[in-house]
Chain A
Amino acid sequence: MLILIVAIFVELVVSSRLSIGRFGWSFLTTATWNPVTEVFGAASSIYGTLVSTTIAMLLAVPVGLITALFLVELAPPAIARFVGTGVELLAAVPSIIYGMWGLFVFAPWMAGYIQPGLQSTLGFLPLFQGRMNGQGMLTAGVILAIMILPFITAVTRDVFAMVPAAVKESAYGMGATTWEVTRRVTIRYGFRGIIGAALLGLGRAIGETMAVTFVIGNSHRIRPSLFEAGNTITSALANEFAEASEAIHLSALIELGLILFLITFVIQSFAQVWLKRVSRGMGVGL
């Protein structure tokens, strides 16, 4: 087991040495990606990964939090179990299915309803300009949000359930409303657990491949508009890897993979250590 993770790391470094040697640190800041002239830079992919995951987190964290609140505090047990199963099934749907649905159903829906609405109200921002074909950063971000929502909801639900009833009841006893108890007691008490949940979701979103590849449009250019095509580290890998014929192209792609591996490993490790500290602090296992 230990060897496996070291082997992955070593193998990725060895296989990308060609590209590391040729481009050095500038790989991270160059936005050009041109297989013909053999100039490669990861900036557009890293940018795309950052933007799409940011959109996903902005949508999924609040929604996941409030859904968890509904499951723990508000819903009758039967409904909570029903919704809980639904959320779990949402997590079990394979990512390629999200991709299919995103490409053929959700993207046209975005183009037909959401994008025109955003453009007519917030069109003065460069974020919401450009053509509206449904694909692009925004759609990818929304689909990622749907995919990580179940994870955030599940962990947050566990965190909320760990808050001792006595603490909540004493707040209710003072006449606080459900929302006041949630905001000032439950969320504050479980704050660090919620951060851990968000980190786990973040790790998922960054590594997600197929769904993003279907809807992001796949272009190696950085554009300000969220409606325009972009790409992410994972979508670049999925699209080009099997077709990369030049050694340097392949090597650059593997270096992209290495960057992704490092990012997710750091996030995962941090989330683990964090959650462990939280559960120790609360005296309950997560």
Chain B
Amino acid sequence: MTQSEAPQPDAMKQVPRVHVQCTLNGQATEFLVAPYQSLLETLRDVVGITGTKEGCNDGNCGACTVSLDGRIVDSCLVLGAEADDRTIDTIEGLAPPGGLHVLQQAFLEEAALQCGICTPGLLVAAKGLLDQEPHPDEQMIRQWLAGNLCRCTGYDKVVRAVQKAAEMQAR
């Protein structure tokens, strides 16, 4: 096969990449991203931080939850290009240096995880709740986390862990 008969180059190369500047976990960050890449793909494959997990990739499971300008979103349903000028917080930014966030501590103590795929999303989502409501009741926690699916533990331990984190935070 001659050069001209070679298959068309990968479609990904046909649309110019977009330059994005954002604040990622408190750090000024910039990258080039294909305009159709999700924020989830951008974080994992372009920026190279893989704490945010892919579950369903269609906005049902919440495994890819990150915070965008202080609101939790499914990063599979956000484009990386949209992050320009925005503030993104992921699981990597949750723990203080050398320690654990109270939610992480509480999830460990309550054994609120098993395989761990849903855990980063649950932690980021739960932080979004505690930021907004430091003393949520059980119903509020269940409602808020309805968009985070877990197929291992069920939800009781997760709810208890969030309640415990709220108490730890109040101390």
- A and B found bound together: no
Residues of B bordering A, CB below 8 Å = none
* A positions within 8 Å CB-CB of B: none
